[in-house]
Amino acid sequence: MNRRALPIVVGAFVVGVLIDLPFDHPRFPGYGAAIGLFGTILLIVVAKKLLSPLVDRPEDHYPEDTVPDVQPDVWDAVVTADDRRHDPRDGRKAHRRDDRPATLHDDPDRGDARG
Amino acid sequence: MDELLLHPVVPMLIGAVLVRVVPQRVGNVVVIVAPLAALAAVASLEFGTSVTMGFLAWELEVLRADALSRPFGVIFAGVALIAATYGLATQRGPERTAVLVYAGAAMGVVYAGDLLTLFVFWEIKAIASTFVILARRTPRAGRAGMRYLFVHIAGGKLLLAGVLVHLSQTGSLRFETFEPGVAATLILIAFVLSAGMPPLHAWLKDAYPEATVAGTVFLSAFTTKSAVYALLRGFPGTEALIYLGVAMAVYGVIFAILENDIRRLLSYHIISQVGFMVTAVGIGTTAAINGATAHAFAHILYKGLLLMGVGAVLHATGRSKANVLGGLAHRMKAALTFYMVGAISISSVPLFSGFVSKEIIVDAAYQSHLGWVVIVLKVVSVGTFLSTGLKLPYATWFGPEGPGPRSSEGARLQPAPLPTSMHVAMAVTAGLNLLLGVVPSLLYALMPETVVYEPYSVGKVLEKVQILTFTGLGFWLLVAWLPSKPHVSLDLDWLYRRLPELIRERVAARGPVSLPSAPAAGVPAEAATGAEVATDVEVAPTGPSAGTTVAAGTTRAESSTAIARSRRLLTRVFQPTEGPPDVPTTWALGAVILLASLVLLVSSLLW
């Protein structure tokens, strides 16, 4: 939790309640602020603390269908030798759409998938 | 009969054939003109237009134009035009054929007046959308496309069974509101499967992110929204849909928070937003029907825009996973701006399209005294803003590196310049989202019933601003809990992606050589083993070679029992293979599927 943000969030919540007072507010003043703040916390806690431990798996859980970091078949980039020096991860051959793999089975990016 | 030529499907199908045979440059024109012509056809159709034709013993109404079909026809033709523009630089002949047939078939569903026409277009839509996924032409897309096809073929068969039962019970094929019963239940399951309702939703998040950048924009628009149309037509006011829709909205939004792949994250939000529409169908009041239609209309626009924005990132950097993105904001300002318009539209920020459509549904729930639905839907709106408006843009364009350098010189990522056509498509869609938010009467004029809802009041705007502000503050508070790390989340597609493999490994590991010491007591023990194989899937698989050294004599003794024979068959069916299964296995599986279909058909005719 971001401790630096906590006093600001609490302060903003008080302001939110006060702003609502003179207007036609639903249920209670600060209703919108409460839904926003507690809704966010609730969703993040449910997703990250309750659900995530159950469903979180390593990226290659479906080994054949692992999405690679770089998907050259939809990448409209010509990588030059100069670029390659900057980042070895980008060291792929120049790849235009015209170079698309001709069949489903010889995609250069997943060449090891079936072998 | 001449009016059939005015059917909006006709220009789409003609265009679909043309783009396959003409050169690329001419195809660029055809793929734009075909949706334009369809839009003109939609606009020229007067309410009450009906074209019938005889087929066998039945009178089919292949074209029915009324107040409910018009908004869907307009937006389907419109989004086909926008997405085709977006794909001008990337799509080629075969993919264009697939997307035009797909969009045309979705319009055919919308204008179908009878259930047989509906079924035919429904199936064309399923097959054409499979080809849209396959058009990515990678093995991953191929497998995802086939899984998608199997799910949708199953849904289509449920629809057919429901239609046949309906026909035998009522003698009518007209597509109107269904009476509760067996037929209605079968048709309802087919519709909610296509709407992406959990537990029948996994096809959506599995397949949509595997298509090409433009293909995903098409996919996001038609399948789920034609299912919403079909639900609106056939099942308004079905109370179960309220609960199912709310569950759908919550499910999608929570899984989206966990997702790392940005296009998959947005796919989960399709499930969540369609949940709003399904809830509205379940409420079924005039206001709710308007809300579902308006939200479907706006949703197609802003979801298309969101997917175009992240598609632009994928096109420019080759990356779609949040953990390898970041630091792009300075070099992809236009894409970021257009994406943010979509993000604040889906989060229903005042002055954007989501605010004038989603809030109708929430208000309709309030009018129907469904207080819990109102609160849950508002919390879901919070989650929508949290992941599409805050987390995704933060991870994609900023991340730990901040907005990144101003030039690509020395930068970690090298975004390629985007084609003008992509910018034009995104700009037009962003403009439409703003226009509908500022002048909601444009949207409301298209709705099936008169809209009495007034979106802008001090109270509503203030509440929405508060909700969004405090969502942002909550995100700031807990941002450390939302890191982008490489992982996948299990979902129900595990049941058909991993479970068969685990069973196969278990069977292969035990193989024909298990239970070597007790052949006499073999039968009950083996039955227990079989049950264990089916249920206990957590056990780590051992290599298939582990048990093969056991004496062959035991195997022979065992081979006399029927169970051993069935085990060998299982081993063969689930044998790990390089490539497709062998021919006898394929025939056997095909025969089983065919037999099941025949049983379904015969039983539905006997009803």
- Write out pLDDT tens, residues B486-529: 899 999 988 888 888 888 888 888 766 544 444 444 444 444 44
* Cα–Cα dist B378/B10, whole Å: 41
pLDDT grade for A76, boundaries at 50, 70 and 90: confident
* Residue B111 or residue B530, greater confidence: B111
CB contact under 8 A, A77 and B463: no
| Predicted ipTM of the assembly | 0.80
- Could you tell me the end-to-end alpha-carbon distance of chain B, in angstroms, rounded to an integer? 35
Listed by start position, the domains of chain B span 1-235, 236-485, 498-576, 579-607
* Residue B166 or residue A95, greater confidence: B166
**B498 contacts chain A (CB < 8 A):** yes
Q: Which of B121-135, B255-269, B449-463 has the lowest mean pLDDT?
A: B449-463
| pLDDT at res. B54 | 84
Total domains, chain A: 2
Q: Which residues contact B414 (CB under 8 A, 6 or more apart)?
A: A77, A79, A83, A86, A90, B317, B408
| pLDDT at res. B523 | 43
**B43 contacts chain A (CB < 8 A):** no
* A16 within some domain: yes
To test the contact with chain B by mutation, choose from A20, A50, A57, A75 the residue with the greatest count of B C-beta atoms within 10 A, namely: A75
Q: State yes or no: pLDDT of B109 exceeds 60.
A: yes
CB contact under 8 A, A109 and B138: yes
| pLDDT at res. B530 | 43
* A106 within some domain: no
Measure in Å the smallest separation between the Cα of A95 and chain B Cα atoms: 11
- Write out pLDDT tens, residues B293-342: 999 999 999 999 999 999 999 999 999 999 999 889 999 999 999 999 99
| pLDDT at res. B57 | 81
| pLDDT at res. B185 | 93
Nearest by CB to B318, from A33, A70, A103: name it. A70
* Cα–Cα dist B521/B514, whole Å: 13
**B497 contacts chain A (CB < 8 A):** yes
Q: Is B95 helix (H, G, I), strand (E, B) or coil?
A: helix
Q: Which of A105-109, B88-92, B587-591 has the highest mean pLDDT?
A: B88-92
| 8-state DSSP, B548 | T
- Which tokens go with B569? 């068959």
Nearest CA in chain B to A109: B138
CB contact under 8 A, B469 and A40: no
| pLDDT at res. B580 | 58
Q: State yes or no: pLDDT of B382 exceeds 60.
A: yes
| pLDDT at res. B256 | 94
| pLDDT at res. B68 | 93
| pLDDT at res. B582 | 64
* Cα–Cα dist B294/B449, whole Å: 11
User: Position B437: which residue type?
Assistant: G
* Cα–Cα dist A8/A3, whole Å: 10
Tell me the average pLDDT across B521-544: 42
Nearest CA in chain A to B409: A83
CB contact under 8 A, B140 and A110: yes
Q: Which residues of B touch A55 (CB under 8 A)?
A: 258, 489-491
Tell me the average pLDDT across B80-100: 93
Q: Which domain holds residue A69?
A: 63-101
Tell me the average pLDDT across A71-85: 62
**B565 contacts chain A (CB < 8 A):** no
225-264 in B: which are within 8 Å (CB) of A?
A: 253-255, 257-258, 261
Q: Which residues contact B236 (CB under 8 A, 6 or more apart)?
A: B177, B281, B284, B289
What is the residue-averaged pLDDT of chain B?
A: 87
| pLDDT at res. B529 | 44
Q: Which helix (H) or strand (E) holds B421?
A: helix B420-438
Tell me the average pLDDT across B142-154: 93
CB contact under 8 A, B488 and A62: yes
* A115 within some domain: no
pLDDT above 70 covers what percent of chain B?
89
CB contact under 8 A, A83 and B414: yes
Tell me the average pLDDT across B245-262: 95
| pLDDT at res. B480 | 87
Residue ending a domain, choose from A36, A55, A74: A55
| pLDDT at res. B511 | 65
| pLDDT at res. A112 | 42
Q: State yes or no: pLDDT of B548 exceeds 70.
A: no
To test the contact with chain B by mutation, choose from A37, A98, A99, A109 the residue with the greatest count of B C-beta atoms within 10 A, namely: A37
Residues A67 and A29 in one domain: no
Q: Is B489 helix (H, G, I), strand (E, B) or coil?
A: strand
| pLDDT at res. B574 | 64
Question: A56 phi and psi, to 5 degrees?
Answer: -70, 125
* Residue B5 or residue B288, greater confidence: B288
- Write out pLDDT tens, residues B551-601: 444 455 555 677 787 777 777 666 655 565 566 777 788 888 888 888 887
| 8-state DSSP, B541 | P
Q: State yes or no: pLDDT of A55 exceeds 50.
A: yes
Tell me the average pLDDT across B401-413: 82
Strand residues in B321-460 grouped as ranges (E):
none
Tell me the average pLDDT across B78-99: 93
Q: State yes or no: pLDDT of B368 exceeds 60.
A: yes
| pLDDT at res. A86 | 45
* Residue B250 or residue B399, greater confidence: B250
